[in-house]
Amino acid sequence: MTEPAAAKPITNQKEQFRCIGCGAVHANAEQNFRCPKCGDLLELIYPKREVPALNPSDLKDRWLKRRLSPRPLDQSGVWRFRELLPDSSDASNVITMREGNTPIYQLSRCARAAGVERLLAKHQGMNPTGSFKDTGMTVAASFARQQGYRWVACASTGNTSASMAAYAAHGDLLSLVLVPQGKISWGKLSQALDYGAVTCELKTDFDGCMRVLSEVVQRMPIYLLNSVNPYRIEGQKTAAIELMEQLEWQVPDHVIVPGGNLGNSSALGKAFLEMKDMGLIASLPTISVIQADGANALVRTMRETAGQKLISVQPETMATAIRIGNPASWKKAVRILQQTGGTVEQVSEVEIAIAKAEIGSDGIGCEPASAVTLAGLKKLVKQGFVKSNESVVLILTGHLLKDPEFTLNYHRGELFGSKGGETAKIAHQRRSPIILDATAEAVFRTLESAEKSSDH
Ligand code: F0G
For residue 84, the SS3 value is helix
E strand or H helix at 120: strand 119-123
Nearest CA to ligand 1 atom 11: 260
Q: Are the C-beta atoms of residues 228 and 41 closer than 8 Å to each other?
A: yes
| d(CA 449, ligand 1 centre) in Å | 40
Q: Are the C-beta atoms of residues 298 and 248 closer than 8 Å to each other?
A: no
Predicted local distance difference test score (pLDDT) of residue 427 = 86
**Ligand 1 atom closest to Cα of 227?**
13
Predicted local distance difference test score (pLDDT) of residue 120 = 98
Q: Where are the alpha helices (DSSP H) in 98-205?
A: 108-114, 133-146, 159-170, 186-194
| d(CA 294, ligand 1 centre) in Å | 15
**Ligand 1 atom closest to Cα of 264?**
13
CA 114 to chain centre: 22
E strand or H helix at 288: strand 286-292
CA Rg value for the chain: 22
Separation CA 147–CA 29 (nearest Å): 12
SS3 percent helix, strand, coil of the chain, rounded to 5, is 45, 15, 40
Pocket, ligand 1, Cβ cutoff 6 A: 131, 133, 156-160, 227, 258-264, 321-322, 367, 369-370, 397-398
| d(CA 160, ligand 1 centre) in Å | 7
| d(CA 162, ligand 1 centre) in Å | 12
List the one residue out of 213, 129, 126 whose CA is nearest residue 166.
Answer: 129
Q: Are the C-beta atoms of residues 344 and 298 closer than 8 Å to each other?
A: yes
The structure's pTM equals: 0.95
* 411 Cβ neighbours under 8 A, 6+ residues apart: 357, 430, 431, 432, 433
| d(CA 155, ligand 1 centre) in Å | 11
Beta bridge partners of 18: 25, 43
Predicted local distance difference test score (pLDDT) of residue 455 = 67
Which residue of 102, 123, 127, 131 sits with most ligand 1 atoms within 8 Å of its CB, as the best mutation to test the pocket? 131
Nearest CA to ligand 1 atom 6: 321
| d(CA 322, ligand 1 centre) in Å | 6
For residue 88, the SS3 value is coil
Specify whether the backbone of 101 is left (phi greater than 0), alpha (psi in -120 to 50) or beta.
Answer: left
| d(CA 57, ligand 1 centre) in Å | 33
Separation CA 268–CA 250 (nearest Å): 16
Predicted local distance difference test score (pLDDT) of residue 74 = 95
Torsion angle (degrees, nearest 10) of CA 181, 185, 186, 188: -100
| d(CA 67, ligand 1 centre) in Å | 28
List the one residue out of 139, 106, 385 whose CA is nearest residue 253.
Answer: 385
Predicted local distance difference test score (pLDDT) of residue 52 = 55
Separation CA 145–CA 152 (nearest Å): 9
Q: What DSSP string runs through 418-431?
A: T-HHHHHHTGGG--
| d(CA 61, ligand 1 centre) in Å | 32
Which residue of 184, 344, 397 sits with most ligand 1 atoms within 8 Å of its CB, as the best mutation to test the pocket? 397
Which residue of 124, 191, 204, 264 sits with most ligand 1 atoms within 8 Å of its CB, as the best mutation to test the pocket? 264
**Ligand 1 atom closest to Cα of 125?**
3
Convert the pLDDT of each residue in 213-227 to its tens digit: 999 999 999 999 999
In a structure prediction context, what are the per-residue pLDDT tens digits for the chain, which is 456 residues long?
443 344 443 334 478 999 999 999 999 999 999 999 999 999 999 987 765 567 899 999 999 999 999 999 999 999 999 999 998 767 899 999 999 999 999 999 999 999 999 999 999 999 999 999 999 999 999 999 999 999 999 999 999 999 999 999 999 999 999 999 999 999 999 999 999 999 999 999 999 999 999 999 999 999 999 999 999 999 999 999 999 999 999 999 999 999 999 999 999 999 999 999 999 999 999 999 999 999 999 999 999 999 999 999 999 999 999 999 999 999 999 999 999 999 999 999 999 999 999 999 999 999 999 999 999 999 999 999 999 999 999 999 999 999 999 999 999 999 998 888 888 888 888 988 999 999 999 999 999 999 988 766
Predicted local distance difference test score (pLDDT) of residue 11 = 38
**Ligand 1 atom closest to Cα of 369?**
1
Predicted local distance difference test score (pLDDT) of residue 6 = 40
Nearest CA to ligand 1 atom 19: 156
